[in-house]
Amino acid sequence: MLVRTPATSANLGPGFDSLGLALTLYDDVEVELTGAGLAIEVDGEGAEVADRGDRHLIVKVLRRTFDVLDDLAGTGPARPAGLRLRCRNRIPHSRGLGSSSAAIVAGIVAARALHPAGSLLGEEAALRLATDIEGHPDNVAPCLAGGLTVAWTTWDGPKSVRLESKVTQVVALVPEQRLATERARGLLPETVPHGDAAANAGRAALLVAALTGGLDAGVLLDATEDRLHQDYRAPAMPESAALVGRLRDAGVPAVISGAGPAVLAFTTASRLDSMGREVGNGWHEHPLDVATRGARVMTGEPEIRG
């Protein structure tokens, strides 16, 4: 059984911990229930953690989701005695493109497909479980639903809505170096000036209007302005911060993707190709579309081949 999960970009500038976008860069995870043991194969990103065994993120999520479904079904444990896991990972790790969210969602979707009572775990419950594991809903929401999502948390847990983005093309600019999300979050202050918070609220609302209404690049440039997190995180990713500045000075709506250090530009690869000086060296360009579908079980697809 094969599950495909999209990369995601969160925040999108002013939408801190709330806005997210699914992108057409995918991880494929093949899961097979076996009689005993645990076998993990990883091709591509994250190959160095294939030997983590029970500590591998997807394995932990699979087993936790099976336990949740056991409780929902009330019919006794259905956790498999053994697992065989094969991953083809294309989403860069620790770059701000939702690799951990993709792994978490893959585990939940796979467990829901394999467990006899999988249908008992609805979309809202899946979002709640994914958020509980990840810590924030902004990446897991678009990974589950696809498209553009707005996520928030209430007393009853995380919620999200899916919107159709009329801006369909972006370019992810990915550096070689990684940055742990925990380190990036550790640079954020406990409080921010009221004026900055008010400015971001307005920009986030404008960004939703710009993405769903197909407004021009000038409006999108204004809409992606941020005062809450990017400047505070700049010391941990100076090259990324400088690239965002150069692109924005040239009129390209650009933001730090998630916690960074990847940069997301709302433009086309052909335009960036003509801006060699602004882009500079050391960046892997990934021209992407907005993924209209979230994580899903692939039917009629060949198995993963190394």
pLDDT of residue 301: 54
Residues 158 and 63 in one domain: yes
In terms of domains, do 211 and 139 share one?
A: no
pLDDT band at 286 (very low <50, low <70, confident <90, very high): very high
End-to-end CA distance of the chain, in Å? 16
The answer to whether residue 186 sits within a structural domain is: yes
Indicate whether 108 and 173 sit together in one domain. Answer: no
pTM confidence score: 0.93
At residue 305, does pLDDT exceed 50?
A: no
Residue 53 has pLDDT above 90, yes or no: no
Of the candidates 12, 8, 9, 10, the residue with the CA atom closest to the CA atom of residue 205: 12
130, 224: one domain: no
304 pLDDT more than 70: no
Domain with 249 in it = 169-289
Length of the chain: 306
Question: Is residue 233 in some structural domain?
Answer: yes
* Domain-located, residue 177: yes
Whether 172 and 153 have beta carbons less than 8 Å apart is answered as no
Is the pLDDT score of 209 beyond 80? yes
Residue-wise pLDDT tens digits, 177-201: 887 777 777 888 889 999 999 999 9
What would the pLDDT profile of 67-107 be if each residue is shown by its tens digit?
A: 999 999 887 776 777 889 999 999 999 899 999 999 999 99
Assess if residue 306 is contained within a domain: no
Asked if residue 6 and residue 115 are part of one domain, the reply reads: yes
Tell me which of 83 and 264 has the higher pLDDT: 264
- Judgement on whether residues 14 and 155 belong to the same structural domain of the protein: yes
Local confidence band at 300 (pLDDT 50, 70, 90 cut-offs): low
Residues 192, 154 share a domain = no
CA–CA distance, 264 with 268 (Å, rounded to integer): 11
- Count of structural domains, the chain: 2
CATH code of the domain containing 155: 3.30.230.10
Is the pLDDT at 306 greater than 50, yes or no? no
pLDDT of residue 289 exceeding 90: yes
- Identify whether residues 188 and 86 lie together within a single domain: no
Strands ordered across the beta sheet of 254-256: 254-256, 263-265, 169-174, 284-289
Kindly state whether residues 126 and 175 are assigned to the same domain: no
Percent of the chain residues topping a pLDDT of 90: 72
Query: Does 303 reside within a domain?
Result: no
Q: How confident is the model at residue 25 (pLDDT cuts 50, 70, 90)?
A: very high
The pLDDT value recorded for residue 179 is 79
Q: What does pLDDT average to over the chain? A: 91
74: in domain: yes
pLDDT band at 214 (very low <50, low <70, confident <90, very high): confident
pLDDT bucket at 160, cuts 50 / 70 / 90: very high
Model confidence band, residue 126 (pLDDT cutoffs 50, 70, 90)? very high
CATH of the domain at 229: 3.30.70.890
Instruction: Let me know whether 117 and 191 are in one domain.
Output: no
One domain, residues 133 and 21: yes
What integer pLDDT is reported at residue 240 of this predicted model? 95
Is the same domain home to 190 and 277?
yes
